[in-house]
Every structure is written in C-alpha cells, then in structure tokens.
Structure 1
C-alpha cells in the first residue's frame, strides 16, 4: 500500500497538468556574429568635427611648376624641351622624377607662352624646336646626343649614354638622332614646323593687347 502511494505521488509529480512546461525555454537572445568591439562605430559629432578639421589643416598641394623651382634652385644644367611632343614628354617626365632627388636640372618648356629667348641664351623657339638643346650653368650650350648624356649624368644615369663619348659611336648616335629630330613632328602626328610657327605667331598677336591668354 505504501509502495502504491509512493508510485502515485511520483506519477503525480512527473506528470504536471500543463505539458507545455516540458518545451524548451523561449530565450530572447539576439545572436551577433561580430564582437561588439569590431562593429562599426557611428560617426559622432566630435568625430566629424575632428575629420573636417584634419582636412582643413592639411598642407596645400604644391603645383608642378613651384615644385620644379624648389628642386632646381642649384641647377647644373637647363633642359629646353617641347612640351607639346607626347613622346618627348615620356623622357622628360622620367628625368623630372629622378631630379626630385638630385635637383640639378632646370626644365624649360619652349612651347609655353612664357618662353623667352632672352632668358635662354638667345635660343628662339624655332631653333629650339629643331633639336634638343641644353644649357650648362656656365653658359655652355650643348645639343643632340651630348645634351642627353649631360642630362642623364646629372641624375645618376650617366652609364646609359657613356659609350657615346667615343668615336665613331658619337657620330653614329648623332646621325640617328638627327633623323628622329627631322621627322619627329610627322611621327607624333603634328603639323609641319611652318604651320606651328604661323599658329604661334597669330596667337602671340591676339594675346599681345589682351589679357585673354593670361591666367
């Protein structure tokens, strides 16, 4: 009898009236796959102000012309180049980049409206367009392959043209360059030198008594 009463008591405890109590507990948990520390932080007012202030306090960029003047204060050689020649500019830009370290070359764009023969040993635009010219700091003017050799020497690349110091290599190199200089306008798809000179003359006349060409 006691055993039966105990069994009945256990049965009464094991089988509650509400069977839903046996279902898994409903936990209100929101899973977050990323740690809180790694979640993107909202931009606060303080952060925004700091970001804007950092931009406003940044140093102004230096123009290419101003940068070249800084690099070439103590120049050893002046390079007269045609800024309208796309192939020429590849070499000029390479030398320009190297010159950031050496600061020995001063670059002068003969195609610029500001170009002046008076400031470049009397070398007028037409003469400078005929072939490469470089001016040493002592006033010596060099042309053709020698000009390239002197320029490359000033930026640590003298070995490139070193062999052109000796004959007959020097003569052969100048001959090859002479052919390029003669036909470079055609090769680069530009009009003959006569048309370029005429267009430059007309532009000069239009700009002479006007501020339209001055920036």
Structure 2
C-alpha cells in the first residue's frame, strides 16, 4: 500500500476530531496529515482545500468522497469500505451523502465551537 496525503482544516473543530480519530486508526503511519491552514505549501488553491476534503493517492489529487475513500484504503480497519468505494455506484452514493453533509457542516462547526468554548 502506498502512502496517502490528506489536507484538512485545522481550524475546524469537526475536522480536528475526525483527523484525531484517523491518526489513532493509522497505526502503520501510512497517512501524512497536513493542516491546510498552516504554513505548508498547498498543492492547489488553499480555499479549495478548505472547502472540501482533499487527499493525494498515487500522485492523483482527489476530493470529496473519493478523498475519504483513499484515506480509508490506507487504514486496515477501514480498507474494505475504501475498496468498495472504487465501484462507481458506491462512490456516487458516498459523494451525494458528502455533498449533503457540506450543507450542514457550518452549523455543526458553530455548534462544536460553542461547546468547546463552554468546556
């Protein structure tokens, strides 16, 4: 299995939680996590990297559900789901779900930020 690079929004409380979980599951260290809000050079437009989930697998830049599937394939526990996502109908379904999630993401982020502020 080759390595995967994942760009995430380090300022997003939802993203931080998800990436923390993925780091714990990535026991083999196959994924390089890059905070797209940090000083690192971005491979594409920083705003685009922050608007949608992005990953690079085998030299190909992926976004949305395809990027999640690449990350899952690098984690043995989630690999079966990532492999299943290689089938177009499954990937289309995951992308549709991800697109709907992006609509509610700002509300979830605000809710988590308020929750963190109270803690």
Place the TM-score, normalised by the shorter chain, in its bin: 0.7 to 0.9
Equivalent of 1:155, from 46, 53, 75? Answer: 75
Matches within 5 A, 1:86-101: 86-99=13-26, 101=27
Residue 96 of structure 1 and its aligned partner are, at CA, apart by 0.8
Q: Paired residues, what number?
A: 109
RCO comparison, higher one (Cα < 8 Å, 6+): 2
TM-score where L is the length of structure 1:
0.46
Spell out structure 1 runs of 4+ moving beyond 4 A: none
Aligned to 1:110: 36
Residue 176 of structure 1 and its aligned partner are, at CA, apart by 1.2
Residue 183 of structure 1 and its aligned partner are, at CA, apart by 3.6
Structure whose residues are more often strand by fraction = 2
CA contact (8 A) 2:71 2:82 kept: no
RMSD between aligned alpha carbons? 2.0
Instruction: Provide Cα deviations, 1:44-74, integer angstroms capped at 9, x if missing partner.
Output: xxxxxxxxxxxxxxxxxxxxxxxxxxxxxxx
TM-score where L is the length of structure 2:
0.78
CA contact (8 A) 1:134 1:142 kept: yes
Matches within 5 A, 1:141-152: 141-152=61-72
Give the whole-Å Cα distance in 1 for the aligned partners of 2:31 and 2:18: 13
Unaligned runs of 5+ in 1: 1-74, 191-215
Tell which structure's C-alpha radius of gyration is larger.
1
Residue 164 of structure 1 and its aligned partner are, at CA, apart by 2.5
